[in-house]
Amino acid sequence: MSILSIESLFVRYGGITALNGVSVEVRQGETVLLIGSNGAGKSSLINAVTGLVSTSGGRILFEGRDLAGIPSAARSRLGIGYSPEGRRVFRSLTVRENVLSSTLGLSRAAAEENFAWACSIFPLLAERAGQPANQLSGGEQQIVALARAVSTLPKLLLLDEPFLGLAPVWIDRISDAIRELQRRGTTILMTEQMARPALKLVDRAYVMRGGEVRRSGDVAEIREEALAEEYL
């Protein structure tokens, strides 16, 4: 069953059409990649799902429910976790506070339990718990953004360019973190420009360009095409 169905979605910013009738499916338990170069419309699609950008056509169904008119905060509480492009950790908050910031809808006990759970996946969090997030490196901030997104135990994790600007060693570490989340049953929709590390993590991929899906398929099919294109 599809946990997320995006049907013929349009997003416009003034005169610019960022998404031009895009359809994407994510099924329970799988990891799906949106791949495309800068400006392809990946973030617009992710943020149409989080509710941070408004759509001008099409439908987004989450667990069969139309998200139209549901505010961003309520979508998070329905079970949509989100790690933004560029990480955007809360800079003046500590690492622990960042991870707890998304748990307002949970009981205190559940929030603390989930923080401990996040620390078990990402040991860095426990080591740096009291440190302001703006003192961390980009890779460390990505871990914090991931932990913040999963500390509510979301049904669907949206991951916008987790490798952006990171050194290879951090790309490996973030990849390991994503695999750990997959082992624990997390359903993921992620975006990337970097095909090589991203394709290792996912079941299926959609190739986007100019606000449209150009191709889609399982990893074996996409890998060859992507390698032939300039996304590498």
Partner 1 sequence: MVTFVSAGVIGLSMGAQYALIAIGFTLIFGILGVVNFAHGGFYVLGGYLAFTLSHVLGVPFVAAIVLATIATAAIGYVVEIVLVEKYVVDHLATMLITLGFYQILITAIVVFYGAEPMDFSFPITGSLRSGGIFVPYSNLIVFVVCGAAIAAVYWLVYRTRYGIALRAMADDGPVARSQGIPPATMFPMAFAIATGLAGLTGALVTPMLALDPHVGEGVLLKAFVVVILGGMGSIPGAMLAAFIVGLTEAYASVYLGGSKGALVLFVLVLVILLVRPQGIFGTEARKA
The residues of the shown chain that bind ligand ADP, judged by CB under 6 A, are: 13, 16, 18, 36, 38-44
CA distances from 84 to 31, 47, 157, 163 (A): 17, 9, 11, 11
Asked if 51 and 95 touch (Cβ cutoff 8 Å), the reply is no
Among 36, 51, 162, 211, binds partner 1 (CB under 8 A): 51
Nearer to partner 1, 31 or 151 (CB): 151
Closest approach of Cβ 102 to partner 1, in Å?
4
Residue with tokens 């500590």: 94
- The answer to whether 63 contacts partner 1 (rule: CB under 8 A) is no
Give Dmax over CA atoms of the chain in angstroms. Answer: 50
Distance CA 127, CA 149 (A): 19
Closest approach of Cβ 104 to ligand ADP, in Å?
26
The β-bridge partners of 2 are 27
Single-letter residue type at 29: G
Among 7, 25, 30, 85, binds Mg ion (CB under 5 A): 85
Distance CA 154, CA 164 (A): 23
Among 43, 55, 152, 216, binds Mg ion (CB under 5 A): 43
Asked if 171 and 195 touch (Cβ cutoff 8 Å), the reply is no
Q: Which does 104 bind (CB under 5 to 8 A by kind): ligand ADP, Mg ion, partner 1, none?
A: partner 1
Distance CA 36, CA 90 (A): 27
- The answer to whether 141 contacts partner 1 (rule: CB under 8 A) is no
Nearer to Mg ion, 26 or 34 (CB): 34
Phi and psi angles of residue 35, each rounded to the nearest 5 degrees, phi first:
-120, 140
- The answer to whether 93 contacts partner 1 (rule: CB under 8 A) is yes
Q: What number of chain residues touch Mg ion (CB under 5 A)?
A: 3
Footprint of partner 1 on this chain (CB under 8 A)? 50-52, 71-77, 82, 84, 88, 90-93, 97-98, 100-105, 108, 111, 148-149, 152
